[in-house]
Amino acid sequence: MADEETELSEKQKKEIAKWFLLNSPSGEIQYVAKDVRSVLKDDNAYNLAASEAFPIYNKTHMICLEMPGRLGDVLITSFAELDENEYLDPRTAQVAMVNHIKQICTEVRPASDEELPSAYIEEFRCALDAEVLKYVSEAYPKGVCSVYCTSGKDVEGPGSDFELVVVISATRLSPQNFCNGSWRSTWHIEFKDELQVVEVRGKMQVVAHYFEEGNVQLDANHECSDSTIFQSPDDIAMTIANIICHHETEYLTTLQESYSNLPDNTFKDLRRKLPVTRTLFPWQNTMQFSLTRDITKELGIGK
């Protein structure tokens, strides 16, 4: 006997819609949102899902938004978040108000003194920002970066520890060629004054989506660590930028070599010519399948 169809609750619809939105490939959430809203046919459930999913997606993917008045760009990351819709751009000392669902910056205001690092920390932050900006402009077409103080921003001089975080985001969108991709890296820089050591921890992520006559996605991650001696702001900035460049170049080279050496049969095994039933999917009559039942079972909703 066939499973009896059941109507999903609004909460279940919201969770399903949210799952699809959060799992959208880089740069494709607006396309997914349009389709989800059309299929869902429940504006209230969709709006609830979108209000929860878009802020998480925007911060996870470190999207970059242009600030009004040609003030520059602001990166949407958890390190820049001051409030639910407010994000600091340390380079311009501006705070951007963001509409997450529309993915636009609506207005800006000057950052207050309490929202900015001390003059001592800013000297290190600004020097590092300049060196990383130089590196990113050479290494990543359309890449953006920012440097935040995440700990010890009120330190007024030598004698205390503090932490800076470098964020790099680069997106390459080419939907007309059925290919989108992004690079994201986060570098935690711990300045340990007593030990006169600077520890560096990095996390890199490469995401790609190729969808010409198929749907192939790549999501590769790598973590690393390094260290150097505590130096003057300008000298340590140059050293840290070189460390970042070394590790990112090494990882990208490793990725390129591993994928270029894959044998042809590995790619052939990625796709099944026919499903296990040995029957082609009947695209002309998809209504015979219960998407409600299958998705609910897959996501574990209603258990």
User: How does pLDDT run across 245-303, given as a tens digit for each residue?
Assistant: 999 999 999 888 877 666 555 555 555 555 556 565 555 555 555 555 555 555 555 55
The predicted pLDDT at position 287 comes to: 52
Mean pLDDT (whole number) for 202-219: 85
Q: Is 289 helix (H, G, I), strand (E, B) or coil?
A: coil
What letter would DSSP give residue 211?
A: -
pLDDT band at 1 (very low <50, low <70, confident <90, very high): very low
Q: Where are the domains of the chain?
A: 10-60, 62-116, 117-264
Note the pLDDT tens digit of each residue in 118-131. Answer: 999 999 999 999 99
Rounding to the nearest 10 degrees, give the CA dihedral for residues 172, 174, 177, 180: 50
Alpha-carbon distances of 1 from 4, 5, 79, rounded to whole Å:
9, 12, 54
CATH number assigned to the domain covering 117-264? 3.90.1150.210
Which comes out higher in pLDDT, residue 299 or 145? 145
CATH 3.30.1140.60 is right for the domain spanning 62-116: yes
Three-state DSSP class for 138?
helix
**Percent of the chain's residues with pLDDT above 90:** 63
Degrees (nearest 5) of the Cα angle 77, 82, 87?
50
Check residues 281 and 211 and name the one with the higher pLDDT: 211
pLDDT, residue 277, reads 60
Residues 6+ apart with CB under 8 A from 89: 67, 71, 72, 73, 74, 75, 80, 95, 96, 146
Q: Please compute, for residue 165, the number of CA atoms within 13 A of its CA located in the half-sphere on the CB side.
A: 15
Lowest mean pLDDT among 47-56, 221-230, 235-244, 264-273: 264-273
pLDDT digits (tens, 9 = 90+) for 22-41: 999 888 899 999 999 998 88
What is the per-residue pLDDT for 2?
A: 45
The residue-averaged pLDDT of 95-122 equals 96
Span 139-147, mean pLDDT? 92
With pLDDT > 70 as the criterion, what percentage of the chain qualifies?
84
CA–CA gap between residue 85 and residue 74 (Å, rounded): 12
d(CA 30, CA 20): 11
The pTM assigned to this predicted structure is 0.82
Give the three-state DSSP class for 86.
strand
Query: 242 is written with which tokens?
Result: 């070189």
List the beta bridge partners of residue 147.
Answer: 166
